[in-house]
C-alpha cells in the first residue's frame, strides 16, 4: 500500500474517533470522496490496524443506526422555517 494512502487512512480513522464524525464530514475535511473514505475505513483500515478498525466500525454503525432520526429532524426544521 502506498505510504500516502496509509497515512490518510490512519488520519481519517483518528479524526473519526476523536471527533465522532460521519463519513460525509470526514470526506469534506480530507478532500476526498465519500466512497474513498468508506473504502478506507471498511477495507484498508482492517488490514492496517484491527483495533482502530473496531473503534471506527462502532462509530460508523452508530451513525447508521441513527441516520433516520437525523433525517426526520432535518425535514422538520425545513418545514418549520419555510415561509408559507
* Structural domain that includes position 16: 3-80
Per-residue cell: 44: 484498508
Q: Assess contact for 56 and 42: CB atoms under 8 A.
A: no
In the chain, what are the helix, strand and coil shares in percent, each to the nearest 5? Answer: 85, 0, 15
Q: How many domains does the chain have?
A: 1
Give the list of residues 6+ apart from residue 24 with CB closer than 8 angstroms, or none.
34
Give the list of residues 6+ apart from residue 14 with CB closer than 8 angstroms, or none.
52
Stated pTM of the model: 0.81
What's the pLDDT tens digit per position in 17-38? 999 999 999 999 999 999 999 9
For residue 84, is pLDDT > 70? Answer: no
Amino acid at each position: 500500500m502506498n505510504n500516502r494512502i496509509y497515512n490518510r487512512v490512519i488520519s481519517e480513522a483518528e479524526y473519526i474517533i476523536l471527533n465522532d464524525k460521519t463519513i460525509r464530514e470526514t470526506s469534506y475535511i480530507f478532500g476526498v470522496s465519500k466512497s474513498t473514505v468508506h473504502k478506507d475505513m471498511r477495507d484498508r483500515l482492517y488490514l492496517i490496524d484491527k483495533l482502530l478498525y473496531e473503534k471506527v466500525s462502532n462509530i460508523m454503525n452508530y451513525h447508521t443506526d441513527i441516520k433516520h432520526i437525523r433525517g426526520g429532524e432535518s425535514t422538520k426544521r425545513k418545514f418549520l422555517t419555510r415561509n408559507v
